[in-house]
Structure 1
Amino acid sequence: MQETGPTTRVALQDAERAQVNDLVHKVFENCPGQTEYRYLSFLREHVDTPIGRIRDTYESAAGQPVLLGNLPQFESVEHSKVLALLIGQTIGNCVAYSDYNGSYITDIRATELSREKSAGTDLLAMHNDLAWASDVCRPRTLVLVPHLAEGVVPRTLLAPATEVVDRLDAATIDILRAPVFEARSGSSLGWKYERVRKMALLEENAGKFVVRLNFSAYSPAAHLDSDQREAAAEAHQQLHDAALAVGRLRGHAALKGEALIIPNDHCLHGRDPIDSGNSRRLLLRSYVVPNSVVEHHGRTMISLEH
């Protein structure tokens, strides 16, 4: 089948690209400490950027990922970090998680030293980042900016929730809508205990589907009888399978000069396997939340325990 990739694509005009390039250099030059928080603090004074129209495009995309093209390209990874934060601040507020990675920018690459799921070379399963977290802290948007993408570039697999749900039968949807799943979180975070929450894996908010899928975080709730557990486990697997099928159709190999803006609640994402011998790839990720989340915490370094 033909791969379609993101349906919403926006390319900067050359004059806009030049303005963004100048702004990235301005931020970098005015932040001699070269820390992400300094970059972010300076960028808050410049949210009315030449790419301000991207916010309207993203908000009107109705849960679809947005591919942003004709971005300036930088040799320095620090400049690419500023770019990732600039795009994030155009959409909302960039945040870091004190009990997760403590960083406003995450480097996504294959490495033996990282504990993150995305640091391997095998197929990265379809998921929503930190899907089990509450509305007052969960990242609502992911911004992915390739700093390096050479050779056989693996695709980022993209599965809008509406297209995933279209592949599910009514009985499966009913089970996924019920709070019969347990979300276990905290065991790999900086928490002293593991938190268990009962949740539905499928909700609807303002006419858009919200999906909860996060690697092995979910399982049928302990109180279910054997038949209910079996039905819940089967519905969970059907959700995984449908998301992967859509993701493989909608995959996009993001190149330098592009950025993917992904609505975390409304679009699942994953990654094709990486051929480490024929690929050089470094993605920079920023997490973005709406104003209400930052106001709740009073800061941009927030905790997932809320």
Structure 2
Amino acid sequence: MKIRTFLLPFIFLSSIVFPSFGKTATSSLYVHYIDVGQGDSIYIKTSDGEDILIDGGNNDKGDDVVAYLQQQHVDDIEIMIATHPDVDHIGGLDTVLKSFKVEQVYAPRVSHTTQSYLDFLNAVKNEGLTIQTAQKGTALGLNDVSAIFVGPVKSYSTDDTNDWSAVLKLTYGKRSFLFTGDVETTAESDMIASKQNLRADVIKIGHHGAKTSTSEVFLNGVKPTYAVISVGKENTYGHPTAEVINRLKIHKINIFRTDQQGTIIAKTDGTHLSFNVRPITSNSNIAH
């Protein structure tokens, strides 16, 4: 798959704002929901110039993720997060580790026996790194943003790794993002019960829009204005499901989809929030 490069201007009220990338500090934070087909990969550039990568797509998407990061002039990665061991999330991370200097790696304390997961572990070891545990309350040491894991809040069965997903809340100024991996309704309920502040302007929809995620109680807790669904075209799983799409529409949440729009890029200066494309499903009362 050829990942499309960013060519469109940002849509921000009535003004046209062009993105600025590179290692130098800027006044804005950028979140790239990279189109990796049926999988997840999210690149974050903070206003202080720090680079964060959450997941790396499937095994065959590693080179695409590396190419995309190179297009954004990434020279090293301060923080890499593997949300959980599923191949469509960690499959490409070994390629990224071989291609960039990575300073810190976070992952939940759950293991897997697949070759893809072993490849990831070996790549981390070969770079002389150790995996730091992603769990509720663990904060990332970033200069200009608040980034803290709000999940997992407890241990789950190792038979299904989705609820183990590392869930990160990132806040810059007045704007916030929630990155959910493949978290399902059990872990969603546990996060709500933990009384954490889960409120976020933008939510990355869990498990590519599967009906086992994005519960009513979770949406009521997060109260997002925008939802991004990372999903492959004509995938065999039926993602995103009609149940999730309808639930988002009922809550009047603006919806973005990588299968229909390619890579989605959000930009915020801590107050204003804009995207490189318009939502597929939009609440007409919200300017974007």
Q: Please say which structure displays the higher CA radius of gyration.
A: 1
TM-score by length of 1: 0.23
Greater relative contact order (CA < 8 Å, ≥ 6 in sequence): 1
